[in-house]
Amino acid sequence: MTTAIPAKSERTEFELTGAQWNELQAALDRPVRAKPKLEKLLSEPGLLG
């Protein structure tokens, strides 16, 4: 028997409580932090060129 539970990556809707929604909004509103190691990694050529 196969269970028909979709993977979270396939979901298009998530229900949030009011508190969860406020927490998400606060996280999205935070200023962006500099990530120099990530910037360096992304500026170098990759394995394929």
Q: Measure the CA angle with vertex 18, ends 7 and 28; round to 5°.
A: 70
What is the band of 6 on the pLDDT scale with cuts at 50, 70, 90?
low
Asked, for residue 6, whether it belongs to a domain, the answer is no
Supply the pLDDT for residue 47: 73
Domain of 38?
18-43
Please name the residues in contact with 16: beta carbons below 8 A apart, sequence gap of 6 or more: 24
pTM over 0.75: no
Task: Report whether pLDDT(26) > 90.
Answer: yes
Does residue 16 contact residue 24 with C-beta atoms inside 8 Å? yes
Asked, for residue 12, whether it belongs to a domain, the answer is no
Asked, for residue 48, whether it belongs to a domain, the answer is no
Asked, for residue 11, whether it belongs to a domain, the answer is no
Supply the pLDDT for residue 10: 78
Asked, for residue 3, whether it belongs to a domain, the answer is no
Q: How far is CA 16 from the centre of its chain?
A: 16
Asked, for residue 4, whether it belongs to a domain, the answer is no
Please state the domain count of the chain: 1
What is the band of 4 on the pLDDT scale with cuts at 50, 70, 90?
low
